[in-house]
C-alpha cells in the first residue's frame, strides 16, 4: 500500500506541474501577443530610420561628388512599417564611440548602387557622417 501512495503523490505533483506550465504559457503568450522577435541589426536600423536625419558637411560633399541622393539614403534606412534595405555592418561600425556611436549601414538601392553610409547615433538624431559608393573604384572627391 505504501508504494501506491508514492505513485499517487507523483501523479498529483505532475498534474500540478502541468497546470502551472500551462498557466505560464498562457500568460506569456498573452503578454507577448503580436510582438515579434528582432535581430539587433534590424532593431538598430529601425531606430536610426525613425530618428531625425541630419547630414554633416563632409557627408553632403561626398554625396554630391558620388551622386548619392537623400532618397537613396532613406531607402537603406527605411521608415515606419517598411524596414530599410540596408544591414548594419558591425565590423565597420564603432558602437562604443562616445558621445555618439557610429553605425555602417550597407545595402543595394533600387537603382543598383551598392552603398555604405556611416551614421552617428546621437540621442534622437541620426547624423550621416559619410556616404560611400562601394562600386566606385577611383574616388576623386576632395572633401574636408
Model pLDDT for residues 52-95, shown as the tens digit of each residue = 889 999 999 999 988 899 888 888 887 644 566 888 999 999 98
Determine if the pTM surpasses 0.85.
no
Phi and psi (nearest 5°) for 81? -70, -30
> H/E element holding 74?
helix 70-77
Cell numbers at residue 65, please? 561628388
Cβ atoms 98, 86 nearer than 8 A: no
**DSSP-derived secondary structure letter, 84:** P
Amino acid at each position: 500500500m505504501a508504494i501506491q501512495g508514492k505513485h499517487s503523490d507523483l501523479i498529483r505533483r505532475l498534474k500540478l506541474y502541468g497546470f502551472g506550465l500551462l498557466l505560464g504559457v498562457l500568460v506569456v503568450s498573452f503578454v507577448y501577443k503580436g510582438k515579434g522577435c528582432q535581430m539587433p541589426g534590424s532593431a538598430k536600423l529601425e531606430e536610426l530610420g525613425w530618428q531625425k536625419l541630419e547630414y554633416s558637411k563632409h557627408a553632403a560633399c561626398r554625396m554630391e561628388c558620388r551622386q548619392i541622393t537623400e532618397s537613396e539614403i532613406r531607402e537603406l534606412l527605411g521608415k515606419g512599417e517598411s524596414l530599410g534595405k540596408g544591414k548594419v555592418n558591425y565590423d565597420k561600425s564603432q558602437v562604443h564611440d562616445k558621445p555618439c556611436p557610429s553605425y555602417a549601414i550597407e545595402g543595394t538601392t533600387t537603382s543598383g548602387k551598392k552603398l555604405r553610409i556611416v551614421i552617428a547615433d546621437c540621442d534622437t538624431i541620426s547624423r550621416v557622417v559619410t556616404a560611400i559608393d562601394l562600386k566606385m573604384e577611383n574616388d576623386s572627391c576632395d572633401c574636408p
